[in-house]
């Protein structure tokens, strides 16, 4: 009888070890993104920021009001989120596996646009 209790208690400890290990393990790789890809790295205010990934990610380390959320689409292997650039600043999209930084700035007019403005071209009637 003592041998049976010893074996049962040993199995109980063994099974509980595997149960605790499976609960404490990190999430499977399918739930965390292995890539985060914005459509470009530098944006002007008012542009749409489109970020694609193959899983979940966070937009943290973002100053308040830099981006406003528009929509997200989940097409089984790919997550596409669209944001609108509201203020100048830097945004870091990241998760455990990868991260990417984008910058949002005020659009500066090009010299050609200034020259056309002086000559009066491009004005609306």
Q: What predicted TM-score, i.e. pTM, was given to this entire model? A: 0.55
Helix residue ranges per DSSP H, the chain: 2-24, 111-119
Domains and CATH numbers, the chain: 29-109 (2.60.40.10)
How far apart, in whole angstroms, are the C-alpha atoms of residue 9 and residue 27? 30
The model's pLDDT over 1-53, given as tens digits with 9 standing for 90+, comes to: 888 888 888 888 887 887 777 666 665 555 555 677 788 888 888 889 888 88
């Amino acid at each position: 009888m003592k041998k049976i209790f010893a074996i049962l208690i040993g199995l109980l400890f063994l099974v509980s070890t595997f149960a605790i290990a499976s609960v404490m393990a990190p999430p499977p790789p399918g739930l965390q993104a292995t890539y985060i890809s914005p459509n470009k790295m530098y944006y002007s205010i008012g542009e749409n920021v489109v970020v694609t990934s193959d899983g979940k990610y966070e937009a943290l380390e973002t100053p308040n009001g830099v981006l406003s959320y528009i929509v997200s689409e989940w097409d089984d292997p790919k997550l596409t989120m669209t944001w609108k650039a509201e203020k100048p600043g830097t945004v870091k999209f990241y998760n455990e596996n990868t991260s990417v930084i984008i910058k949002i700035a005020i659009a500066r007019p090009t010299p050609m646009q200034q020259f056309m403005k002086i000559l009066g071209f491009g004005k609306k009637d």
